[in-house]
Amino acid sequence: MKKFIPLLLSLTTIFYLLSVSSCSSSKSTNSPFDSIEESNKSTRDKIVIISDLHLGNDLSYSENVKHLGRLTEFLKEIRSSETVKELVIGGDMLDEWYIPTRTDTYGGGTQADFVKKTVAANKEVFDVINGIIADGKVKVTYVPGNHDMGFTPENIDLAMPGINQARDAANKTEVGTYHPEGYPQIAIEHSHRYDFFSSMCPNANDADAKGAILPPGYFFARIAANSFTDPTTPEAATKVPEAKLYDSTNVEQKTKYIYYTLWNKVLTGLIFVKDDFNEPIITTNIGNYTKTYSINDLLPKNDPKNKSLIMNLYNGIFTQKNWEERLAFNNASIMTPIDSAIIGSLATSFIDNQSQTQYFNNKASEQRVVVFGHTHIPMIKTFTNTKGQECIYANSGTWEDKKSRDKNAAIDQDAENMDFIVIYPAASNKNKVQVAQYQYLHGKHELKDSKSIEL
């Protein structure tokens, strides 16, 4: 009998280890995603959408510093979840735009070097994302935004090896729309293609940068960085040079003046700076640009001799014809009025309503749920399409810090931004899709709004 005791003990040990293993594999992960009401608790069927992370190359001026810890926690919850099927990053994940004007973006290196430095500066975030990709349980998709429109597919893969990239075509990689697996009725994109300031702008400045596509918003972002890294007050800020409209019957001139009034409003009350507007301070060396520009190079100014408004950069983009050619270049389906698009770059409801214009009112579109980023304002709205069907628009908000020019300002960053969208089928009706807007408030999933739709 004694010779059987070791065998019995080893069998007991094996059964015990199998039991522990079985219990461990079925044990709840305690991920908040796995306990969402009205969702299936045993199936991977949730699509999580985040956007506008604005992960910077240098944390001394990056737009996302205070939220990096929470973002890492949030991504770990996705990684540990047993019910998340997809993570979609809807643009502006990396940031090649928000760079102080006097800083050489690549510092004499390459875009690949810039990407490597960005990954190193945000190591914990990228470690988790790359862990999710490597696990192979959650599909991770990247959709380009405007702040990262210049990053090549190869350099995105350098940062996140194996990530799925949703780009429109080989010759239009700066924009993309993603349809989650099994949901052709859902469209996720950044939405910058409809934005006058932020969509690709070909042939605008060929005399300076042949083949460049960077839009006016790129230079706007560079100036905006100065406003916060080297702050001043509205009273002490450099005044915008006055410009007037000579001929209100000239459509192109009137549109250019609308553009001037927008810049005047922004530089007076939003991103005011103390820089000399005539001084060449905007270092480029990016996107085919090699020169250094002044702020006045971007502003319409009066030409008294010809009684007109002229510009050094982007002078020829202020006609309806040019705008429609530009929209087509950005693969937009429906054309919009140029004046509305210019004003709408600041009044963000114009961008949000492009979900209706480009999708729900478009007879060629079958999309019933559309998710944008870009505006940084999270929301859920309902629309009705041309067939009389209810449709849902959601905006995924942002994860950037709340900005302040006062470095000593007391801001509870743990209660600011950190927005995300979750889409999932209802447990009781798989044809019914729930679209939920959340905030990662103090590390907890705070439900802000939720709407359902039957597909």
- 46-50 and 419-426 beta bridge pairing: antiparallel
pTM of the complete model: 0.92
Looking at residue 427, what is its pLDDT? 87
The arithmetic mean of pLDDT across residues 24-28, rounded, is 39
Task: Lowest mean pLDDT of 30-44, 270-284, 381-395, 440-454, name the range.
Answer: 30-44
pLDDT surpasses 50 at 220:
yes
Looking at residue 347, what is its pLDDT? 86
pLDDT in tens, 355-365: 999 999 999 99
Looking at residue 2, what is its pLDDT? 40
Looking at residue 171, what is its pLDDT? 80
The domain locations on the chain are 32-197+332-454, 216-310
Percentage with pLDDT > 90 across the chain: 89
Percentage with pLDDT > 70 across the chain: 94
Alpha carbons 3 and 72: distance in angstroms, whole number? 54
Backbone angles phi, psi at 401, to 5 degrees: -70, 155
pLDDT in tens, 371-407: 999 999 999 999 999 999 999 999 999 999 999 998 8
- Average pLDDT for the chain: 93
pLDDT in tens, 128-167: 999 999 999 999 999 999 999 999 999 999 999 999 999 9
Looking at residue 29, what is its pLDDT? 59
Confidence label for 284 from pLDDT (cuts 50, 70 and 90): very high
Looking at residue 430, what is its pLDDT? 80
Alpha carbons 408 and 431: distance in angstroms, whole number? 51
pLDDT in tens, 197-218: 999 999 999 999 999 999 999 9
Alpha carbons 222 and 220: distance in angstroms, whole number? 6
Looking at residue 291, what is its pLDDT? 97
Looking at residue 86, what is its pLDDT? 98
pLDDT in tens, 222-262: 999 999 999 999 999 999 999 999 999 999 999 999 999 99
Looking at residue 41, what is its pLDDT? 87
CB under 8 Å to 325, separation ≥6 — which residues?
A: none
Q: Which fold has domain 32-197+332-454?
A: Purple Acid Phosphatase; chain A, domain 2 (3.60.21)
First to last CA, the chain: 67
Going through 126-229 in order, the beta strands assigned E by DSSP cover 139-142, 164-165, 177-178, 186-189
Looking at residue 38, what is its pLDDT? 86
pLDDT in tens, 93-106: 999 999 999 999 99
Beta bridge partners of 370: 187, 393
The tokens 């009034």 sit on which residue?
A: 261
pLDDT surpasses 50 at 26:
no
